[in-house]
Amino acid sequence: MMEAMKNDPLFSKQVIDMFTVANEYCLFFDKAEEYSCDDILEYFHKIAPLLYLKGSLVPDITVSDPSYRERFLTEEQYEALFLVLKERFDDKDIFHILDANYEATQASLAECMTDIYQDMKDFVWLYRKDNSFAEENAIALIGSLFETRWGIKLINALKAVHGIKFETGEDQDFFE
């Protein structure tokens, strides 16, 4: 039995590692209101590289039945976390990134971290359904969203957190 699970791509080390780190991220942010700005930034600074690494190792999975693809986090749950983070970060929330056209644009740490949370929470809840079709969809979705959404948001937020933590700051003249 264990050997069969070991060879099953739905339970590969890469998937279990991704699930473990995603679950840890969710457990922390589920209690965000209990933490200070510095606590949140310190936690994110440490988990973000691990989350990125695990996301980059998620295997490609062929989905047998896409009807099992679900999103779980409600708009109200998203908004509640976003507002807590925005309040905690205060004047540290806004940072600048270059968009696809190399134009400077504003971004929000609260929004980036909440978007990542949404993708992690949906992955964890879908993967926990204990149904191979749901597990396939969870793995395929987290891999796809890594490429198109949460991977780049994580990199952008980590760069901003690094700047705050090590007080490298932004060259404001560059963005004007």
Domains and CATH numbers, the chain: 2-175 (1.20.120.1550)
Q: State yes or no: pLDDT of 171 exceeds 90.
A: no
Torsion of CA 7, 137, 130, 125, to 10 degrees: 130
Helix (H, G, I), strand (E, B) or coil at 104: strand
In degrees, rounded to 5, the angle at the alpha carbon of residue 136 between the alpha carbons of residues 133 and 137 is 90
Q: State yes or no: pLDDT of 2 exceeds 60.
A: no
| Mean pLDDT to the nearest integer, 73-90 | 98
Of 42, 34, 144, 30, the C-alpha closest to 78 is 30
- Which has more confidence, 105 or 174? 105
Using pLDDT thresholds of 50, 70 and 90, give the confidence band for residue 169.
low
Q: Report how far residue 135's alpha carbon sits from residue 141's, in angstroms, rounded to the nearest whole number.
A: 10
Using pLDDT thresholds of 50, 70 and 90, give the confidence band for residue 170.
low
15-74 residue pLDDT tens: 999 999 999 999 999 999 999 999 999 999 999 999 999 999 999 999 999 999 999 999
What is the percent of the chain with per-residue pLDDT over 90, rounded to a whole number?
A: 85
Model pLDDT, residue 99: 82
| Mean pLDDT to the nearest integer, 117-142 | 96
Would you state the structure tokens that stand for residue 170, as one six-digit string? 């932004």
